[in-house]
Amino acid sequence: MPQNLTQKILAAHLVEGRLEPGAEIAIRIDQTLTQDATGTMAYLQLEAIGVPRVRTKRSVSYVDHNMLQTGYENADDHRYLQSVAARYGIYFSRPGNGICHQVQLERFSVPGETLLGADSHTPTSGGLGMLAIGAGGLDVAAAMAGAPFYLTMPRVTLVRLSGRLPEWVTAKDVIIELLRRLTVRGGVGRVMEYGGPGVATLSVPERATIANMGAELGATTSIFPSDEQTLAFLRAQGREGDWRPLAADPDAGYDEVIELDLSSLEPLICLPSSPDNVRPVREVAGTPVAQVCIGSCTNSSYTDLASVAAILKGRSVHPGVSLTVSPGSRQVLAAIARSGALAELIAAGARILEAGCGPCIGMGQAPATGTASLRSFNRNFPGRSGTPGDQVYLASPLVCAASALLGVITDPRDLGVPPRFAEPGPLPVEDNMIIPPPADGSTVEIVRGPNIKPLPRRGPLEEDLEGRVLLRVGDNISTDQIMPAGAKLLPLRSNVPALAEHVFAPIDPSFARRAREAGGGFVVGGQNYGQGSSREHAALCPMYLGVKAVFARSFARIHAANLVNFGILPLVLGEVSDDSLSEGDEWRIRRVREQLAGGGPLRVENLTQGTSFEVRHSLTPRQVQVLLAGGLLNYLRDA
């Protein structure tokens, strides 16, 4: 049977199950990554699981999100992470070394291997032919402990690329075009596998941009073949030995095929406040912008920043615009320093930030009230920038650079001659900011500052669930709305009691208080509930507040798995009418353990209205057992 690339890698890593769409499979994980915002929790969980040393081929812990040190909290977290890494056999990428996905691509990713990362943009390494999946921290901790990763076998969509990108059009426009066509729900339950003659025209960093933002489609992951471009990238990293050619078999089958002619694309832009709110740039050209931010794991390669510098060269940023540039890695920063691009950016008036996530996660640079911010990033969910009511647009670095010069959203084709810039020459490959673990870490002392609070746990699932509908929300609610991040809250990621006070704060600041007073309850959502980030705090903190079940029309993949991991039931509303779903109503699910184990629909009584209705679930037998135990940690302990 001819196989596509996704099937080949899954088959080579399969531990349980059959490769049939919709079935639960378990795969062996070769590599893991964490970052500081998810990592503290993941390592507290690894400690709780209790293995002496990680059992993966390679695990890396990055510090890239919580970089501002306005108090002791983030610095405490960094010290904890560094000591845990040494203790358990994990590589530690120090603050300043770059964004996890960029550094992983440069230094560690291997074609044909599997990567599980505690960050939703882990699929970036799919640009290098790796099967790279984002997950909650607890799933990553379990993988570090040697457990396989369980997922629903996705459908595989072939995106067949033909033609070649026109001048001024970039890889970012390819993925924005797919978001235009498919929306933020279009990739759910799917792997986007790229193929066709257009693939060979794209470099690995360009492929990484596309694979990265496949997360915004809701896809399980995205993957490109490993070919001559991959070899060239690895050779420049001094890692030629990690290369091997990989592609789908010539007659491989796919569940769907999407045709995309690169030559037909034009510069595109995502309008506030969703990555699928897409227009051609020319339609919104002239809109004033007060801030332009270039960087993030989507667009901060050498080529991205060098092309921006080439556009800005000899000119000045518009007086009404604050332009920030954050390099994706220290290697990229060193390369633009060496080529002279950095000097051009500085001369034009760019504000150079350290290599890290920075404004993408609201770690500084919140935009001014009522102004538009244009970013080369991947997400513009409401309030994510740190400013309530923000107006964030997303586009390619070329659109960003042109707009920074003119002070209004600008179609870069209006600038005339496309940017030309020098290749960096031999890359400054230097791993002195990556600390390898000692051969024996058993005597390393783990440093726990006051910001490291113990893990909250819950007991097994109760016999009956009863409580109020604490909150009812609409479609596409992102984890940025459930559990916001940003400079003020990220320092609390290892302190669940303090962080839980901010659950749903952007939607209803009284939520945490009401949940506490009621002793917990239920949440009702719409379609695609929990899209976006992999942060398990969006499940863990509601669990801490006593939320027992979330009812929604549909769930985003990672968030649904996180809810199960923390013992919250993700229940699907199906055709239940909106009238039965009023906030404040008292609901009850009797004999919930028995109903859940039975596999069929569950009956919910609306005690306030004196009615009842049925809800479904799409939980696997293993997930049911996890829920009965009260979450994955209890389940692993009891196993």
| H or E element in which residue 470 lies | strand 465-472
Side chain identity, residue 372: A
SS3 state of residue 57: coil
Tell me the pairing of strands 569-572 and 547-552.
Answer: parallel
Cis peptide preceding 273, ω within 30 of 0: yes
30 binds ligand SF4 per the rule CB under 6 A: no
Side chain identity, residue 7: Q
**Inter-axis angle of helices 330-339 and 341-348, nearest 10:** 90
34 binds ligand MIC per the rule CB under 6 A: no
Give the nearest distance from C-beta 513 to ligand SF4 in angstroms: 29
Give the nearest distance from C-beta 536 to ligand MIC in angstroms: 9
Give the nearest distance from C-beta 75 to ligand MIC in angstroms: 18
535 binds ligand MIC per the rule CB under 6 A: yes
SS3 state of residue 495: coil
Tokens standing for residue 524: 């009702």
Give the nearest distance from C-beta 360 to ligand MIC in angstroms: 6
Q: Toward ligand MIC, which CB reaches closer, 144 or 589?
A: 144
Contacting range for ligand MIC; rule: CB under 6 A; set: 115-123, 175-183, 456-464, 565-573: 115-123
Q: Toward ligand MIC, which CB reaches closer, 226 or 324?
A: 324
Residues 291/394, Cβ–Cβ less than 8 Å? no
Give the nearest distance from C-beta 64 to ligand SF4 in angstroms: 6
Give the nearest distance from C-beta 20 to ligand MIC in angstroms: 28
Taken as a whole, the chain contains a residue count of: 639
Q: Toward ligand MIC, which CB reaches closer, 7 or 59?
A: 59
C-alpha–C-alpha distance, residues 190 and 197, integer Å: 22
Closest CA to 620 of 639, 590, 597, 637: 597
Tokens standing for residue 4: 């596509």
C-alpha–C-alpha distance, residues 537 and 545, integer Å: 12
Q: How far is CA 183 from CA 179, 399, 463, 475, 514, in A?
A: 5, 22, 39, 13, 34
Tell me the pairing of strands 586-589 and 372-375.
Answer: unpaired
Interface residue with ligand SF4 among 30, 36, 106, 119 (CB under 6 A) is 119
119 binds ligand MIC per the rule CB under 6 A: yes
C-alpha–C-alpha distance, residues 267 and 391, integer Å: 19
Contacting range for ligand MIC; rule: CB under 6 A; set: 282-290, 302-310, 529-537, 597-605: 529-537
413 binds ligand SF4 per the rule CB under 6 A: no
| 354-383: contacts with ligand MIC (CB under 6 A) | 361
Q: Is the Cα torsion angle 9, 11, 16, 18 positive or negative in sign?
A: positive
217 binds ligand SF4 per the rule CB under 6 A: no
Binding mask 76-105 for ligand SF4 (x = CB under 6 A): -----------------------x------
Q: Toward ligand MIC, which CB reaches closer, 142 or 234?
A: 142
Give the nearest distance from C-beta 538 to ligand SF4 in angstroms: 14
**Inter-axis angle of helices 36-49 and 72-88, nearest 10:** 50
Which of the choices ligand SF4, ligand MIC, none does residue 617 contact, using the CB cut-off of 5 to 8 A by kind? none
191 binds ligand SF4 per the rule CB under 6 A: no
Rg of the Cα trace of the chain?
A: 24
DSSP letter (8 states) at residue 390:
-
Which of the choices ligand MIC, ligand SF4, none does residue 8 contact, using the CB cut-off of 5 to 8 A by kind? none
Residue given tokens 């792997």 in the structure block: 191
38 binds ligand MIC per the rule CB under 6 A: yes
Residue given tokens 């209790």 in the structure block: 50
SS3 state of residue 555: strand
C-alpha–C-alpha distance, residues 133 and 124, integer Å: 9
357 binds ligand SF4 per the rule CB under 6 A: yes
334 binds ligand SF4 per the rule CB under 6 A: no
| 48-67: contacts with ligand SF4 (CB under 6 A) | 65
Size of the site for ligand SF4 (CB under 6 A): 10
Give the nearest distance from C-beta 34 to ligand MIC in angstroms: 9
Size of the site for ligand MIC (CB under 6 A): 12
Residue 101 CB contacts under 8 Å (≥ 6 apart), including other chains: 117, 119, 121, 122, 124, 125, 208, 212, 297
Which of the choices ligand MIC, ligand SF4, none does residue 296 contact, using the CB cut-off of 5 to 8 A by kind? ligand SF4
Closest CA to 171 of 73, 304, 290: 304
Interface residue with ligand MIC among 93, 534, 554, 623 (CB under 6 A) is 534
SS3 state of residue 412: helix
121 binds ligand SF4 per the rule CB under 6 A: yes
Interface residue with ligand MIC among 29, 37, 144, 151 (CB under 6 A) is 37
Side chain identity, residue 228: E
Give the nearest distance from C-beta 36 to ligand MIC in angstroms: 8
120 binds ligand MIC per the rule CB under 6 A: yes
| 461-520: contacts with ligand MIC (CB under 6 A) | 485
78 binds ligand MIC per the rule CB under 6 A: no
**Which positions lie near ligand MIC, rule CB under 6 A?**
37-38, 65, 119-121, 361, 485, 532-535
**Which positions lie near ligand SF4, rule CB under 6 A?**
65, 99, 119, 121, 296-297, 357, 360-361, 378
